[in-house]
Amino acid sequence: MASKFRNAGQTCVCANRLIVHEDIHEAFAQRFSKEVEKLKVGNGFEEGTSIGPIINKRGFDKIVGQIQDAVDKGAKVLVGGDTYFDDDKSYYFVQPTVLTHVDPSMNIMHEETFGPVAPITTFKTLDEAIELANDTPFGLAAYFFTENYRNGLYISEHLVMGSLAGMMAVHRLSKHLLAV
């Protein structure tokens, strides 16, 4: 959850696409969506808020455009998809959104979203998953989960990413690594 929705999905190492094996896709999408529904959109200074505003109108328009493009090409909105504005339209909000039936023809599979949208696509074979993951000009970070050690090694050797984390979904920085 944090690797997708931290800072309203507006960090350079947020998970952009969720690539899930077809055998567990349905169960994963349902369980993930139930957690996403718990996220509260609003002013980040208010108690209980999980998702704050989008950085600017251009970012907001890009997110809305990616969702619309995906839906126009056959994606289904499982959760979310709504947008909000404050009274003077100086803050733009996108409800945390989960898309299913996502495929490589959709812009959201090839562009950075920088927003609270989780497109879920499926794979049959490990090589297909790796091909989907590598099919982007943005290879900053990737995360994977597997129950099979050999699959983990194979993934590690074949993903073309600047940073790779296995069995965890968020980069953890030690305080001493941060510029203070």
pLDDT band at 178 (very low <50, low <70, confident <90, very high): very low
> Per-residue pLDDT for 162 more than 60?
yes
> pTM here?
0.88
Q: How far from 46 is each of 43, 72, 97, CA to CA, in Å?
A: 6, 35, 21
Check residue 151 and give its pLDDT: 94
pLDDT digits (tens, 9 = 90+) for 29-79: 999 999 999 999 998 889 999 999 999 999 999 999 999 999 999 999 999
Check residue 68 and give its pLDDT: 98
Quick one: how many helices (H) and strands (E) in the chain? 5, 8
pLDDT digits (tens, 9 = 90+) for 112-143: 999 999 999 999 999 999 999 999 888 778 88
> Per-residue pLDDT for 89 more than 50?
yes
Furthest CA-CA distance within the chain: 54
- Structural domain tally of the chain? 1
Check: CB of residue 54 under 8 Å from CB of residue 106: no
Residue 81 lies in domain: 2-177
